[in-house]
Amino acid sequence: MSTSEWLQQFAAALPGVDGFDWPWLLLALPLPWLARWLLPARRSTAPALEVPFGDRLGRVTADASARATGGMRWLPWLAWALLCVAAARPQVLGEAVQPPQAGRELMLALDLSGSMSEPDMQLGGRPVDRLTAAKAVLADFLDRRAGDRVGLLVFGRRAYVLTPLTLDRETVRQQLVDSVVGLAGQETAIGDAIGLAVKRLRQRTDVAATDDQPRVLVLLTDGVNTAGLLDPLKAAELAADAGVRVHTIAFGGEGSMSLFGFQLPMPGAGDEIDETTLRRIAEATGGRFFRARDTAELAGIYAEIDRLEPVERPGEAVRPRIERYAWPLGGALALALLAFVRPRWRRA
């Protein structure tokens, strides 16, 4: 058994104490006794007077010292022991409590269809495609999701869950970085993406979760539903029945074409986004519809989503540690006061 374990067992044996925070300080208990035993007595260099009754004089002096202290030489030792116990910080365990944890359960759905390669966005002053801009904004969004459970779903011709709901935001970020246009196909299956997200949000492994807690899906797309088995509006009905709130983001500029190194707008290209259906999906589930035509607008939209009401769920049960060092410290101060007052009181 180690010294630390022995000290903790010693603490558990004390009444009203469950343990010490700094048990190693109890090793200072024998220091005064060791100092008295090991250090040599101080020799006086003053001239000595030899008398034939020195032994009797010594006994008289000792008796006078004992009367002065009232026969309570144990006071300094007990005070030192109480100081060591106070320094070791005795503690007791309080009643178990479950502090609430504020967090959200978010499933992010990202469109990886062929149109996401359209280079009509600006990032850092340079032209980039829509997927690159969306990745940058989503990465910043993930940085602010401390304590949230976040999942990542991508969709094209089919919908796939890359990461289930997790507190490991780094894994979600890495899967986001590895996503490329066409990974899930070139078409757009919005309905299937909503349906899969609803299924995963209902399959939560958090035993503390209840059915009345809201679940959120944030879906970003730049097109219309052109694939999949599930109609988007039917999927919205399923989401509403499951208590899943869907926020939809229509992302994309007015379209552009490259000519001699310049990006020229293409009127009518932005009309390919089905804003009407996306708005109806959001309204049916209690969510909101957003339209982002550039990277700055997209960042503002995710900042707005960041202000969603958090989900409060019970956290892990903990037993708080309550400090009890004040009791032995107060006892040591009382003994010191008694040792100071008692001789004067006896003389009076």
In 3-state terms, what secondary structure has residue 197?
helix
pLDDT at 190 exceeding the cut of 90 = yes
Q: What tokens appear for 51 in the block?
A: 């008398």
User: What is the pLDDT averaged over residues 229-256?
Assistant: 88
The pLDDT tens digits for 108-127 are 999 999 989 988 898 888 99
More confident site: 2 or 230: 230
pLDDT at 29 exceeding the cut of 70 = yes
The closest of 336, 344, 327, 347 to 86, measured between CA atoms, is 327
- In degrees rounded to 5, what are phi and psi of residue 187? -95, -170
What pLDDT sits at residue 269? 44
In 3-state terms, what secondary structure has residue 151?
strand
More confident site: 340 or 337: 337
The pLDDT tens digits for 197-229 are 999 988 764 444 445 556 899 999 988 999 989
pLDDT at 268 exceeding the cut of 50 = no
Q: What tokens appear for 2 in the block?
A: 């180690």
pTM above 0.85, yes or no: no
What interhelical angle do 169-178 and 130-143 show, nearest 10?
A: 170
In 3-state terms, what secondary structure has residue 163?
strand
What pLDDT sits at residue 179? 92
What pLDDT sits at residue 260? 44
- Per-residue pLDDT band at 143 (split at 50, 70, 90): confident
What pLDDT sits at residue 267? 47
- b (16+ CB within 10 A) / e for 200-216: bbeeeeeeeeeeeeebb
- Mean pLDDT is highest, among 82-91, 125-134, 318-327, for 125-134
Domains (ranges, CATH) in the chain? 3-37+54-95+319-347 (no CATH), 101-314 (3.40.50.410)
Beta-ladder partners of 180 = none
**Which range is least confidently modeled, 10-19, 156-165, 284-293?**
10-19
Q: What is the mean pLDDT of the chain?
A: 78
What pLDDT sits at residue 133? 93
Beta-ladder partners of 93 = 321
Residue 33: how many CB atoms within 10 A of its CB?
11
Between CA 284 and CA 302 the distance in angstroms is: 20
- Per-residue pLDDT band at 59 (split at 50, 70, 90): low
What pLDDT sits at residue 249? 94
User: What is the pLDDT averaged over residues 3-9?
Assistant: 55
What pLDDT sits at residue 337? 82
Ramachandran region, residue 270 (left: φ > 0; alpha: ψ -120 to 50; beta: rest): alpha
What pLDDT sits at residue 196? 95
pLDDT at 53 exceeding the cut of 60 = no
More confident site: 12 or 263: 12
Q: What is the DSSP string of 1-48?
A: --HHHHHHHHHHHSTT--EESSGGGGGGTTHHHHHHHHSPPPPP-SPP
Q: What tokens appear for 46 in the block?
A: 């003053």
The closest of 114, 195, 136, 129 to 160, measured between CA atoms, is 195
Percent of the chain at pLDDT > 70 equals 70
**Which range is least confidently modeled, 76-90, 179-193, 285-299, 312-326?**
312-326
